[in-house]
């Protein structure tokens, strides 16, 4: 036991002291936020403001109505063209338009028609959507005028709507939107951890094997202790990184709360976070996150460790051999996406119980509420099976590791590795 | 006092090879014990069983008078494998500390011992360097220090001199003598026979998983001597005469190599030569070198072991 502790200490300290650890700990949240905001920003930027010529054959459109909408929303400009239409159709660019739309002679009462925005370039749906929305607003006004609906009635028509969202009667507090958000974040975090730290375990084992220090170490400790020490040490590194991130969020939260009176945005954020925390069971989520993160890490890291012990210094060998394991993680993410949109469906239930996918899939379901969405028996079964699962993978990996770490030469196949696991000492 | 290590009918079969096939041997305390054999003879497998890395399929290992207990006894063993291994990116001082602690030393003890050895080998300035900054020879010295640091009762060195220059070789050699003198037992595995002749008291030769020779260097040489003598004389020598007690194997100038005939003794030879009135300058027995013995014993067996199915 004492020796495992020494190994854990080394594995932990050499990694935490590295610059790359500090940098990645700081950069990951920034990258994550950057990704979210950046995508919105890029989507916004990639919309083009179009100048569109409207050639009206129906006679409903008037320059006044169009100009009114142009004033209200300047993201694209529509111009009603009455003369020179042939010229525009022949060469819209020369006339200063990005393209044109011909409105056929339609009746306003049944005017559901597909129109074409014609241009000599391709434009994305983001750009044409704005034009479509504007045209429809004008069309609505035309209809309202024809039906003699005044502003008051219009407001009623627009405002009065029935909305339906899911509410679980066993768990009145559950908020689907929040649960979805937390589920996504938790699932993806576990996914990243499994892949990044799993491959760190693999690389660490490969390093020991190619450096030939493995033989020196196994003359002092058992191969199993060596492997376990590495997995635990690297798991602690991952845990440390998490605590730093949680601390980071708490600091932002508290600073935001303290300065809340002043900044509008900070108050808003803190307010929405408070609301969010109120609608979910934070201690339960944190506990489950800790459990699924650690158990899932043991499950996968031991398999990655086994592969690291079986291959030589060739990175390609390691990649081809670890492909099935990586696939399991990626399948889990696919199952998670399904589970988030339907947290009580069969994919969600089975995905969250079967050990290989349960760390990611169950974490996506738990924010919806226990026992509202996830019955206690499912959670207990999932945890129990995952514990059995990682005990099995650690045992299995230990057997492969023992043989692989001192074996040089040809890369073994999965079949051979399984044979190593089940043969006697 | 019982011997430090006793192997009884040790066997280890792999899927395609009988790596160690019924080997028994005894290593006495304070000995420098040579474990010899061609490549692939089973030396490494044998060593790995002694260091607790492999479990034998059959047979017993008695360490220090008791049945070998890998978990607790490994602290009494120091092993330097042929393939050297250290963490490239780890600082040298920390590395020595780590390996010493894995052998069960406390931080304080380890520190004192590391300092002692680093001073002895003039390595004090290396403490904060990384292994990747060291030359091969320097790495070798560090490896040796980490092997013997915890003052093991049994030290196993696999090709300890490979990659070392003569100065550093001598440094390590002196330390090996010192360690043996202060009571440690050393198992020394190599195929460099001149080193074995120089250093070892006792040798065992293994080939194809079996022990084919066991004895002190002197005994072995006696056993394999061919009754050859070199004689330096003034006159020419001839054994044409039927009643000479020797036959001439070869001559060059005034020195001759003779083989004494069955039933004759060196004294008979001298007597005969004196009677012939031959002036003798020198008379020496030619003992075979370990190298010759090694080649003689191993020759004729395939240089590489063949893979075969093993029915265990």
Query: DSSP for B136-184?
Result: HHHHHHHHHHHHHTT--SEEEEESTTTT--HHHHHHHHHHHHHHHHTT-
What would the mean pLDDT of A120-130 be, rounded to a whole number?
78
pLDDT at B241: 66
What would the mean pLDDT of A86-91 be, rounded to a whole number?
79
- For chain A, list residues whose CB is within 8 angstroms of any CB belonging to chain B: 3, 6-7, 10, 14, 207-208, 211-222, 406, 425
CB of B11 less than 8 A from some CB of A: no
Percentage of residues in chain A having pLDDT higher than 90: 24
**Rounded CA gap, B163 and B190, in Å?**
13
Q: Which of B52, B88, B101 sits opposite A219 (nearest CB)?
A: B52
Query: What residue in A sits closest to B78 (Cα-Cα)?
Result: A219
Chain CA centroid to CA A40, Å: 14
Q: Give me the residues of chain B with pLDDT under 50, please.
A: 312
Query: Structural domains in chain A?
Result: 51-159 (3.40.190.10), 175-422 (no CATH)
CATH code, B226-286: 3.30.70
pLDDT at B310: 57
**Is the predicted pLDDT of residue A403 greater than 90, yes or no?**
no
Q: Name the residue among A179, A167, A165 with its Cα closest to residue A348.
A: A179
pLDDT at A234: 94
Contacts of A113 (CB under 8 A, 6+ apart): A104, A106
Contacts of A352 (CB under 8 A, 6+ apart): A339, A358, A361, A362, A364, A365, A374, A378, A382
Tell me if B206 sits within 8 A of B43, measured CB to CB: yes
- The pTM of this model reads 0.77
Q: β-strands B5-13, B18-27: how paired? A: antiparallel
How far off is chain B from A351, nearest CA to CA, in Å?
40
Q: Which of B86, B88, B102 sits opposite A220 (nearest CB)?
A: B102
Q: Count Cα atoms within 13 angstroms, Cβ side, for A67.
A: 4
Residue with tokens 């434009």: A123
What would the mean pLDDT of A9-25 be, rounded to a whole number?
90
**Is the predicted pLDDT of residue A235 greater than 90, yes or no?**
yes
Interface ipTM? 0.79
- In this complex, do A406 and B74 lie within 8 Å of one another by their Cβ atoms? no
Residue A409, class by beta-carbon neighbours within 10 Å (0-12 exposed, 13-18 middle, 19+ buried)?
A: exposed
Query: What residue in B sits closest to A10 (Cα-Cα)?
Result: B98
Residue with tokens 């009746």: A107
Q: Which residue has the higher pLDDT, A91 or A296?
A: A296
Entry field: residues in chain B: 312
Q: Which of B71, B86, B146 sits opposite A211 (nearest CB)?
A: B86
CA A324 → CA A9, A317, A337, A338, B13, distances in Å?
31, 13, 20, 21, 32
Q: Name the residue among A233, A219, A396 with its Cα closest to residue A307.
A: A396
**Rounded CA gap, A335 and A300, in Å?**
17
Q: Which of A213, A218, A425 sits opposite B87 (nearest CB)?
A: A213
Rg (CA), chain B: 24
- In this complex, do A3 and B90 lie within 8 Å of one another by their Cβ atoms? no
What would the mean pLDDT of A114-133 be, rounded to a whole number?
80
Angle of helix A376-404 versus helix A223-258 axis, rounded to 10: 130
- In this complex, do A219 and B98 lie within 8 Å of one another by their Cβ atoms? no
**Rounded CA gap, B27 and A416, in Å?**
37
pLDDT at A383: 94
Query: What residue in A sits closest to B144 (Cα-Cα)?
Result: A216
For residue range A40-50, what is the model confidence (pLDDT) as tens digits? 777 666 667 78
For residue range B114-159, what is the model confidence (pLDDT) as tens digits? 999 999 888 888 888 888 888 888 888 899 999 999 889 999 998 8
Query: What residue in A sits closest to B150 (Cα-Cα)?
Result: A220
**Is the predicted pLDDT of residue A406 greater than 90, yes or no?**
no
Contacts of A376 (CB under 8 A, 6+ apart): A370
- In this complex, do A219 and B51 lie within 8 Å of one another by their Cβ atoms? yes
Looking at the DSSP assignment, which residues form a beta bridge with residue A102?
A55
* Residue from A216, A233, A417 to probe the interface with B (highest B Cβ count within 10 Å): A216
Note the maximum CA span of chain A: 93
- In this complex, do A212 and B83 lie within 8 Å of one another by their Cβ atoms? yes
Task: Tell me the chain A residues in contact with residue B53 when contact means C-beta distances shorter than 8 Å.
Answer: 215, 218-219, 406
Q: Which of B53, B80, B90 sits opposite A218 (nearest CB)?
A: B53
- In this complex, do A219 and B88 lie within 8 Å of one another by their Cβ atoms? no
**Is the predicted pLDDT of residue A292 greater than 90, yes or no?**
yes
CB of B272 less than 8 A from some CB of A: no
What would the mean pLDDT of A328-354 be, rounded to a whole number?
90
Q: Find residues 42-61 of chain B whose CB sits inside 8 Å of chain A.
A: 48, 51-53, 55
Q: What are phi and psi of B169, to 5 degrees?
A: -55, -45
Contacts across the A-B interface (CB distance below 8 Å): 57
**Is the predicted pLDDT of residue A297 greater than 90, yes or no?**
yes
How far off is chain A from B305, nearest CA to CA, in Å?
16
pLDDT at A374: 84
CB of B90 less than 8 A from some CB of A: yes
Q: Containing H/E element for A284?
A: helix A282-310
Residue B308, class by beta-carbon neighbours within 10 Å (0-12 exposed, 13-18 middle, 19+ buried)?
A: exposed
Task: Tell me the chain B residues in contact with residue A221 when contact means C-beta distances shorter than 8 Å.
Answer: 74, 102
Query: What residue in A sits closest to B146 (Cα-Cα)?
Result: A216
Residue with tokens 């800790």: A290
Task: Tell me the chain A residues in contact with residue B75 when contact means C-beta distances shorter than 8 Å.
Answer: 220
Query: What residue in B sits closest to A3 (Cα-Cα)?
Result: B102
How far off is chain B from A425, nearest CA to CA, in Å?
7
pLDDT at A111: 62
Token output for A240? 């440390």
CB of B74 less than 8 A from some CB of A: yes
For residue range A172-221, what is the model confidence (pLDDT) as tens digits? 556 677 788 888 888 888 998 899 999 999 999 998 888 888 888 888 88
Q: Name the residue among B281, B275, B292, B288 with its Cα closest to residue B227.
A: B288
pLDDT at B312: 44
Secondary structure percentages of chain B, helix, strand, coil, to 5: 35, 30, 35
What would the mean pLDDT of A91-100 be, rounded to a whole number?
81
- In this complex, do B74 and A220 lie within 8 Å of one another by their Cβ atoms? yes
CB of B99 less than 8 A from some CB of A: yes
Query: What residue in A sits closest to B52 (Cα-Cα)?
Result: A219
Fold of B5-222: Rossmann fold (3.40.50)
For residue range B191-207, what is the model confidence (pLDDT) as tens digits? 788 888 888 889 998 88
Query: Is residue A121 very low, low, confident or very high in pLDDT (cuts 50, 70, 90)?
Result: confident
Task: Tell me the chain A residues in contact with residue B86 when contact means C-beta distances shorter than 8 Å.
Answer: 211, 213, 216
Q: Where are the domains of chain B?
A: 5-222, 226-286
pLDDT at B221: 85
**Rounded CA gap, A29 and B90, in Å?**
29
- Computed over every residue of chain A, the mean pLDDT equals 83
Sheet (strand B246-252) strand order: B246-252, B255-260, B228-233, B280-286
What would the mean pLDDT of A303-314 be, rounded to a whole number?
88
- In this complex, do A6 and B102 lie within 8 Å of one another by their Cβ atoms? yes
């Amino acid at each position: 036991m004492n020796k495992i502790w020494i190994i854990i200490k080394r594995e932990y300290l050499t990694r935490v002291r590295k610059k790359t650890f500090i940098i990645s700990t700081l950069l990951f949240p920034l990258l994550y936020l950057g990704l979210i905001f950046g995508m919105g920003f890029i989507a916004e930027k990639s919309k083009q403001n179009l100048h569109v010529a409207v050639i009206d054959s129906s006679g409903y459109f008037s320059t006044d109505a169009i100009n009114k909408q142009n004033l209200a929303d300047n993201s694209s400009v529509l111009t009603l063209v009455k003369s020179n239409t042939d010229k525009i159709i022949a060469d819209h660019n020369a006339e200063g338009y990005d393209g044109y739309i011909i409105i056929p002679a339609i009746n306003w009462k049944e005017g559901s028609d597909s129109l074409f925005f014609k241009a000599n370039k391709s434009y994305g749906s983001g750009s044409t959507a704005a034009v479509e929305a504007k045209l429809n607003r004008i069309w609505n006004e035309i209809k309202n005028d024809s039906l003699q609906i005044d502003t008051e009635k219009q407001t009623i028509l627009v405002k009065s709507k029935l909305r339906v969202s899911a509410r679980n009667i066993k768990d009145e507090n559950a908020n689907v939107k929040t649960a979805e958000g937390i589920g996504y974040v938790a699932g993806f975090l576990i996914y990243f951890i499994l892949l990044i730290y799993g491959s760190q375990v693999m690389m660490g084992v490969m390093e020991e094997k190619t450096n030939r220090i493995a033989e020196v170490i196994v003359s002092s400790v058992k191969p199993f202790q060596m492997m376990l020490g590495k997995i635990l040490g690297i798991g602690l590194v991952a845990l440390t990184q998490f605590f730093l991130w949680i601390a980071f969020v708490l600091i932002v939260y508290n600073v935001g709360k303290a300065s809340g009176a002043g900044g509008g945005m900070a108050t808003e954020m803190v307010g929405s976070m408070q609301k969010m925390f109120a609608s979910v069971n934070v201690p339960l989520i944190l506990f489950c996150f800790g459990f699924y993160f650690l158990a899932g890490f043991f499950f996968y890291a031991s398999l990655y460790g086994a592969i690291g012990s079986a291959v030589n210094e060739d990175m390609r060998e390691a990649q081809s051999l670890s492909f099935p394991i990586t696939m399991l993680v990626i399948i889990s993410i696919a199952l998670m996406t399904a589970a988030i949109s339907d947290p009580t469906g069969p994919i969600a239930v089975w995905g969250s119980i079967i050990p290989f996918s349960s760390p990611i899939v169950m974490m996506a379901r738990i924010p919806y509420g226990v026992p509202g969405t996830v019955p206690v028996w499912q959670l207990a079964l999932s945890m129990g099976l995952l514990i059995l699962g990682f005990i099995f993978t650690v045992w299995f990996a230990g057997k492969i590791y023992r043989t692989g770490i001192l074996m040089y030469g040809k890369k073994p196949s999965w079949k051979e590795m399984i044979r190593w696991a089940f043969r006697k000492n | 006092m019982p011997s430090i290590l006793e192997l009884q009918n040790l066997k280890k079969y792999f899927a395609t090879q009988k790596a160690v096939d019924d080997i028994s041997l005894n290593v006495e305390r304070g000995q420098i014990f040579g474990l010899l054999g061609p490549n692939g003879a089973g030396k490494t497998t044998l060593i790995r069983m002694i260091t607790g890395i492999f479990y034998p399929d059959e047979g017993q290992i008695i360490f220090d008078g008791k049945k070998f207990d890998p978990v607790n006894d490994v602290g009494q063993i120091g092993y330097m494998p042929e393939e050297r291994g250290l963490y490239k990116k780890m600082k040298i001082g920390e590395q020595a500390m780590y390996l010493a602690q894995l052998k069960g030393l406390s931080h304080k003890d380890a520190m004192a011992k590391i300092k002692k050895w680093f001073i002895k080998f003039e390595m004090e300035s290396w403490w904060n360097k990384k292994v990747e900054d060291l030359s091969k020879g320097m790495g070798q010295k560090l490896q040796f220090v980490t092997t013997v640091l915890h003052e093991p009762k049994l030290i196993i060195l696999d090709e300890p001199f490979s990659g070392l220059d003569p100065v550093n070789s001598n440094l390590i050699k002196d330390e090996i003598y010192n360690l043996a003198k202060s009571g440690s037992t050393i198992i020394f595995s190599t195929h460099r026979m001149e080193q074995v002749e120089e250093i070892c008291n006792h040798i065992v030769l293994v080939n194809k998983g079996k022990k084919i020779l066991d004895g002190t260097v002197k005994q072995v040489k006696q056993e394999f001597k061919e009754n050859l003598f070199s004689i330096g004389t003034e006159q020419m020598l001839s054994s044409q005469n039927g009643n000479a007690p020797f036959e001439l194997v070869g001559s060059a100038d005034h020195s001759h190599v003779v083989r004494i005939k069955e039933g004759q003794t060196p004294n008979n030879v001298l007597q005969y030569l004196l009677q012939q009135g031959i002036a003798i300058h020198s008379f020496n027995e030619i003992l075979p070198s370990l190298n010759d013995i090694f080649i003689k014993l191993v020759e004729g067996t395939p240089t590489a072991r063949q893979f075969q199915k093993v029915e265990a």
